[in-house]
């Protein structure tokens, strides 16, 4: 394997490693979103359900309460917030998005391991070309799901700190 071929494979591996981490970070964010909003909706709905046990106050004190502290308004507004949170979970489906990104990250990890094996074990030039073409085909067939830029940048910084990869596109000849 020539140095240029090795550097190209390492460049692919770096990109794949970055995408792997970016999808993992995206998956974790969607899982946290699901948990936080679900916990809010559950907790607040319980609070509303037991709001009938609020202490009774005399009419004069009740009339001086802020509008949200009045039971009817509290129940209506609180129910609206719970419905809004539940609707958000229903339509954005963060748990599904989390699983999709988790699966995509796993697929990138498998592909990265294939490149590691190719770089580690020697073979004939034909075997190398064939395996490289297979890896490229597998990479091309992976679903291209967008990740937030902040996750990609974080992943890129994380991979860069490993100091294992050559300069980006370093295998291309300078013109």
Tokens of 36: 């936080």
Domain edges within the chain: 3-160
Express each pLDDT in 75-109 by its tens digit: 889 899 999 999 999 999 999 999 999 999 999 99
Can you tell me the distance from the alpha carbon of 158 to that of 59, in angstroms, rounded to the nearest whole number? Answer: 61
Express each pLDDT in 131-144 by its tens digit: 888 999 998 888 88
Residue 41 has a pLDDT of 94
Q: Which of 142, 145, 113 is nearest to 9 (CA)?
A: 113
Token pair 């609707």: residue: 87
Express each pLDDT in 21-33 by its tens digit: 999 999 999 999 9
Residue 175 has a pLDDT of 60
């Amino acid at each position: 394997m020539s140095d240029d071929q090795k550097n190209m494979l390492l460049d692919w591996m770096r990109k794949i490693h970055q995408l792997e981490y970016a999808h993992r970070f995206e998956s974790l964010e969607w899982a946290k979103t699901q948990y936080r909003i679900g916990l809010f909706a559950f907790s607040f709905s319980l609070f509303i359900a037991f709001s009938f046990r609020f202490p009774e106050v005399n009419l004069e004190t009740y009339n001086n309460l802020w509008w949200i502290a009045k039971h009817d308004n509290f129940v209506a507004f609180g129910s609206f917030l719970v419905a809004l949170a539940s609707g958000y979970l229903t339509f954005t489906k963060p748990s599904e998005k989390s699983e999709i990104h988790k699966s995509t990250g796993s697929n990138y990890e498998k592909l990265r391991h294939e490149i590691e094996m190719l770089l580690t074990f020697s073979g004939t030039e034909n075997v190398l070309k064939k395996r490289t073409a297979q890896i490229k085909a597998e990479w091309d067939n992976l679903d291209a799901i967008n990740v937030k830029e902040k996750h990609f940048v974080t992943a890129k910084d994380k991979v860069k700190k490993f100091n294992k990869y050559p300069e980006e596109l370093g295998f291309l000849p300078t013109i």
